[in-house]
Each structure stands twice: as C-alpha cells, then as structure tokens.
Amino acid sequence: MSILIDKNSRVVVQGITGGEGTFHTRLMMEYGTNVVAGVTPGKGGQKFDDKVPIFNTVLEAADSEGADTSIIFVPPAFAQDAIVEAIDVDMGVICCITEGIAVNDMIKVYNYLAMSDTVLVGPNSPGIISVDECKLGIMPGQIFKKGPVGLASRSGTLTYEIVDQLTRAGIGQSTCLGVGGDPIIGLSFIDLLDDFEGDPETEVILLVGEIGGSDEEIAAEHIASEISKPVVAFVSGRTAPKGKRMGHAGAIVSGNKGTAESKVKAFDEAGVPVPISIEELVEEIGKALKK
C-alpha cells in the first residue's frame, strides 16, 4: 500500500508542453507513473511524445482518459486557475510544483479546496513518490528504495539528502512527499500523520521541518494524542537569524515564534526524538524500526 497515489493513479499533467512539464513528465513516465493525459490550452488534439493525448481542459482529460490525479507545472500567474480547474473536476489528488504563487491567490484556493473532497499537495512542493509505484513531481526517483519509512517534509533538497542516506543505510521508504515551502499550503503535517498512521506499509514516520510557522508545534501535539507509530523529526535552520527569510517563503522567524528551539522543544515534550545531524537521524530511524 501507499498513501495518496499508487500504481493505479491515472495522472494528468497540467502544463505538459512547457519546459519543466516536458522534462519531468518524461522522467515520471520512465519511473512507471501512469500518465494518461496532458493539458495545455490551445494544444488539444496533439500528442506528447506520440503517446500521451493532450487536451485543452482538465475536464476533457478526465472524461476521455479517466484521469483522477493531477500534477501542475504552470507559471505562478496561472496556477490558481489550474488548481481550481482540477478541483472542479473532482481530482482526488492535486500536486502543485509551482513556486511563487501570490498569497492572495492561495487564500482563494484554500477556501475553495475546503468545499471539496480533493486534497492538494503544495504549492512549491517537489512532489510525491510512492516508491516503485508512482512518482509525481521533480524528485530523483533513483535514490528511493522500497521500505517502511513514511516521510513528510517542508524541504525538497533536504529530503533528497535524507532519503539518499537512508537508502545507503539499507532503510527504504513507503511514501515520501514535500508539503510545500509557501506560507499557505494544502495538506499539513497533521493530515499526513493520520494518513501514515493508517498505512500498514509504514512502520516509522519521519517529519522534516524547518523554521517559520507553527506546523511542527501543532504536529507535535497531534503526535502525543493521536499517533501510535514511532515518529522521528528533524528541524533545519537552527542557526538562522530572526527576521530573515531562509530559503522558502514560509521559513522566517518573527519574534519568538517559529524558532527551531520552539519546534525542538515541542517534539521533545511529545516524546519525539530530534537528532541534530542527518547521520544521527538515520541511526535513530534504525533504532525505531527495531523496536
């Protein structure tokens, strides 16, 4: 099993003919992702690499090819419309890679999403991968190994580093995803904790957090009261200065809120180990798997 996506997901790529969409669609298909359609307004009737039909709208892709999962590679100015279009068609899962979407646009998307059954990963997410089944987004599939660790992260590049070291240590992963680095996102750590809790394939849950916001503190409270599986956490940005954005738009400390110290403290109080290095993190996960 896996969470959110699997080998049966029927994927439509919104923005399939753009530079990023073209490049990463080919890699997703090489990984085994079941890409059944693409969408680029004005290019309906064409085929991507002489294989995948392209449509003008997501509705046409859903009606013709049974698409139920969307991956979005469109510029920020068009991302709001692309997400809303996919919600309107009742896509089960939408993953938005686009970075730099206006906060006002995402507020509208967030409120619209709340009235639907669709789940959104991102925006500003590197994607989702259910190992050896389906890959959505820009993550390098070759570093992943099938196994029992479920990973949810706020940092794309840190995810790659951690997964690479887990794989080198012989520790595989079930599903890994980036929640997105923007201030307003779809699925939260709490949502994914519950998903991993219910996934029989996942034995240990790994959360990768960073400075800014309160997602980690909220997740720690949820873990203490609702999660029975072992959880290990990593918090980046321990040396970041206050008031300065580090990397993501959501990674900024204001006053005493959103600090690495407050997040580590919250996890400690919930009984979640928070190693200070990736090497120690891999060791801690290995211990949790043996319990």
**What are the angstrom distances between the C-alpha of 179 and each of 191, 213, 248?**
10, 13, 12
pTM of the entire predicted model: 0.94
At 253, the amino acid letter reads V
CA proximity to 40, closest of 26, 57, 22, 23: 57
Mean pLDDT of 30-55: 98
One fold for both 11-121 and 140-290? yes
Of residues 202 and 212, more confidence is placed in 202
At 153, list the tokens.
């992260």
| Cβ(53)–Cβ(38) below 8 Å | yes
How do the domains of the chain map onto residue ranges? 11-121, 140-290
Look up 24 and say whether it is catalytic: no
The confidence score (pLDDT) of residue 205 equals: 98
Choice among 59-73, 92-106, 237-251 with the minimum mean pLDDT: 237-251
1 pLDDT above the threshold of 80: no
46 pLDDT above the threshold of 70: yes
- Out of 24, 145, 222, 248, the active site residue is 248
Of residues 88 and 260, more confidence is placed in 88
- The CATH superfamily of 11-121 is NAD(P)-binding Rossmann-like Domain (3.40.50.720)
The confidence score (pLDDT) of residue 277 equals: 96
What pLDDT, in 10s, does the model give residues 253-273?
A: 545 657 889 999 999 999 999
Mean pLDDT of 238-262: 61
Q: Write down the mean pLDDT value for the chain.
A: 94
Burial level of 249, CB count in 10 A (0-12/13-18/19+)? middle
At 184, list the tokens.
């307003």
Measured over the CA atoms of residue 235, residue 236, residue 241 and residue 246, the dihedral's sign is negative
242 pLDDT above the threshold of 90: no
DSSP-derived pairing of the beta strands 127-130 and 35-39: unpaired
The confidence score (pLDDT) of residue 238 equals: 67
| Cβ(71)–Cβ(137) below 8 Å | yes
The neighbouring-strand residues paired with 127 are 137
Which of the listed CATH numbers 1.10.760.10, 3.40.640.10, 3.40.50.261, 3.10.450.50 matches domain 140-290? 3.40.50.261
* Angle at which helices 215-226 and 260-269 cross, to 10°: 0
Residue 35, phi then psi, degrees to nearest 5: -80, 110
What pLDDT, in 10s, does the model give residues 92-148?
A: 999 999 999 999 999 999 999 999 999 999 999 999 999 999 999 999 999 999 999
246 pLDDT above the threshold of 60: no
Confidence of residue 203 (pLDDT cuts 50, 70, 90): very high
DSSP letter assigned to residue 142? G
Confidence of residue 237 (pLDDT cuts 50, 70, 90): confident
At 75, list the tokens.
């510029």
